[in-house]
Amino acid sequence: MIEEKKVKKVFVNGPISPVFVGESIAKHSTKQDIGAHSIFLGQVRNDIIDGNAVLAIDYSAYNEMAEEKFHEIREDAFQKYSLTCMHIYHSLGRVEAGEIGLFVFTSSIHREDAMEACAYIVERIKEQAPVWGREVFDDGRHVWKQNNFKETQ
């Protein structure tokens, strides 16, 4: 558990590949006390805004603050839930519609902890991580996305 708590790198450049997600799952086959994994994958949606489709989201962040915030969210989740391990990956840069920009992966002995922790982490990220998505349209214009989130404790 100690090993899981040190500051981990969350940001990856560009989209998170399905192969990477698969390999992450495979790596846990040696941890045989785990009985449940919960995974959240955030995919870029081709919203239509004022008649134009979103082609991609270009993510940027206040890196130093975001790394600290991700660390705090990780610590809080380990306090609140009984987790065997936890991984958070967030994209920076351009992620095309249909590609993955957020990957949250929690594992526990029984399913409740993994599932609840996963939802908790995703909500905290949406609400508190200093990350911005610039939605790029097919006509070259852009808007800055705004998150809807549930208040978390």
Choice from 144, 150, 151, 153 touching another protein (CB under 8 A): 144
145 counts as binding another protein under rule CB under 8 A = yes
CB 80 within 8 A of CB 117: yes
Look-up: residue for tokens 């306090």? Answer: 79
Rule CB under 8 A: say whether 68 interacts with another protein: yes
Among 60, 82, 111, 112, binds another protein (CB under 8 A): 60
- Largest Cα–Cα distance of the chain, in whole Å? 51
Instruction: Please tell me whether residue 72 binds another protein under the rule CB under 8 A.
Output: no
Closest CA to 138 of 96, 93, 92, 91: 96
Asked if residue 136 lies in contact with residue 60, where contact means CB atoms within 8 angstroms, the answer is: no
**Which residue type occupies 48?**
I
Closer CB to another protein, 34 or 71, in the complex? 71
Q: Which is nearer to another protein, 66 or 114 (CB)?
A: 66
Using CB under 8 A, pick the residue from 8, 28, 80, 126 that binds another protein: 126
Stretch near another protein under the rule CB under 8 A, chosen from 28-36, 48-56, 111-119, 144-152: 144-152
Q: 90, 98, 120, 153: which one contacts another protein (CB under 8 A)?
A: 90
Of the pair 84, 131, the CB lying nearest another protein is at: 131
By CB under 8 A, name the one of 3, 33, 50, 64 that touches another protein. Answer: 64
Among 99, 101, 117, 137, binds another protein (CB under 8 A): 101
